[in-house]
Structure 1
């Protein structure tokens, strides 16, 4: 669990740092005035450009990246399909129509023994629903229906875009506050050491604020899972959605969470004790809430 959190935060910090280096080379990071003070409006603008650039770049390539990382085989609905593939595509398309979406997502299968599925894409028009071979082999029809409904609900709710906007806001404050804190620390040392102290402090504070910001992002991720469960229950029926979650719980040891960027998009992240840094709520709590719905 600690490794997953570390990799998530490190990836975010590296993306922000890369964008900041590019902006620095272009001379677009001059938020320190000639008198040595901070121009807060310039800094806020700089922070917003850095914070939202990384998030929107990630969103733009999310569908492509998911296919490459997971080895997803996209099914051509107009091409030659076996019964196995045709049934999957027809189910997704039926749920998409029930959700009132005007554009059909790509439907794919990735070869993995894990029991999981995910939805991603930069918009409702350009989305992807992918399921693992392990899920199709180990789950019955009703459970598969519930899982697919959950993923379609994610698309209908616009969760990918909302997560991107939230991450952009969090990144903006991470960049903004880390530079203010670094500037304050640099004022405490001799002038000849101020530049190197300021640089090191930026990196340290950026990691610290990224950890705090990730708590907000993970909390919203857990909220959207509950919301997608309710949406899945509306589309497929409450009993099928509960059955799907119970089936996931029975196969929790076959849930792969090694690829963090993809794991946050899947229907299950496994049961987690340290929920503060978890992208998914505990499966028992999700089942309880659906029973109470």
Structure 2
């Protein structure tokens, strides 16, 4: 129920932001009589495409805390929490960013994630399962991987990419729907017919699949860079050891909003094209072939 409530809240916020923006920009209807106004349609697609992406980004820390139950370490209660804070502070300083909030969430599955709307307004969280089953040098590498995501600006970059993809999905889906409705079916009535609405939905699903392939390809590419950054911040051997440890564990589940920024992910049900993370064996091989002077953040 909590996830359904968060989903509905996010979509209400997206609709409100998009409608307000369209009104402020004075963008009229993209359907004018029986004609399609491409300028208005593009602005409509642009606003709705980026509204969803950036509302999710702006709410990402709050959503992460709500959906996983992550508790931010304000005052360390024990040596482990103090070590986590000190480690992230040290890595953030080395990466040249403000120290993220550090949190722990209760889950038997080993995972960690980073989120936040900017390099200097972010959150790094680890699961209790990861802390329980990994050695400290391995946890340090995982933290380095997540700090590297933040320092590389991956959350913002993914939001920008998703906004662009959303824009073109909406834009071209409505053009296809218009052609089917007005040219193929020769509908001459004003407004949206059922043929337009149904075709629009189907086209958005199909174009959305193609967009997801592009987004997941970029996500996999970005994971290699986060591994590289983690090796720079925590040591190459530690990063390799952490990835090898993950090979022996069942990947932890994360909500969709954070899944792309986790240290690992469950295999995709739809094949390699839809995986957010490369295979661990490929990540290990990539790091082993990387020389010390090639390790860096951003």
TM-score, with length taken from structure 1:
0.87
Whole-angstrom distance in 2 between the partners of 1:186 and 1:29: 21
Which residues of structure 1 form unaligned runs of 5+?
1-10
Residues 228-278 of structure 1: CA deviation (Å, up to 9, x unaligned): 001111111111110111111111x2x233622222221101456822001
Residues 201-236 of structure 1: CA deviation (Å, up to 9, x unaligned): 111111111111011111111111001001111111
Corresponding residue to 1:134 among 129, 135, 143? 129
SS in 2 for 1:121: strand
Instruction: Indicate yes or no: 2:175 matched with 1:158.
Output: no
- Alignment correspondent of 2:259: 263
Cα 1:75/1:258, change in 2 over 3 Å: closer
Residues 52-107 of structure 1: CA deviation (Å, up to 9, x unaligned): 0010000000000001101101001xx35311110111011111111111x11100
Q: Once the 2 structures are TM-superposed, how far is the Cα of residue 28 of structure 1 from its aligned partner?
A: 5.0
SS in 2 for 1:200: helix
Corresponding residue to 2:82 among 71, 79, 86? 86
SS in 2 for 1:119: strand
Corresponding residue to 2:162 among 158, 167, 177? 167
RMSD: 2.7
Whole-angstrom distance in 2 between the partners of 1:71 and 1:112: 10
Whole-angstrom distance in 2 between the partners of 1:149 and 1:271: 23
1:53-202 alignment to 2 at 5 Å? 53-76=51-74, 79-101=75-97, 103-187=98-182, 188-189=184-185, 190-191=187-188, 195-202=193-200
Which residues of structure 2 form unaligned runs of 5+?
1-6, 291-298
- Alignment correspondent of 2:243: 245
SS in 2 for 1:122: strand
Instruction: Indicate yes or no: 2:25 matched with 1:30.
Output: no
Conserved in 1, the CA contact under 8 Å of 2:53 and 2:162? yes
Instruction: Indicate yes or no: 2:221 matched with 1:223.
Output: yes
Whole-angstrom distance in 2 between the partners of 1:123 and 1:94: 19
Whole-angstrom distance in 2 between the partners of 1:20 and 1:139: 44
Conserved in 1, the CA contact under 8 Å of 2:114 and 2:261? yes
Whole-angstrom distance in 2 between the partners of 1:21 and 1:236: 40
TM-score, with length taken from structure 2:
0.86
Whole-angstrom distance in 1 between the partners of 2:150 and 2:139: 17
Conserved in 2, the CA contact under 8 Å of 1:99 and 1:235? yes
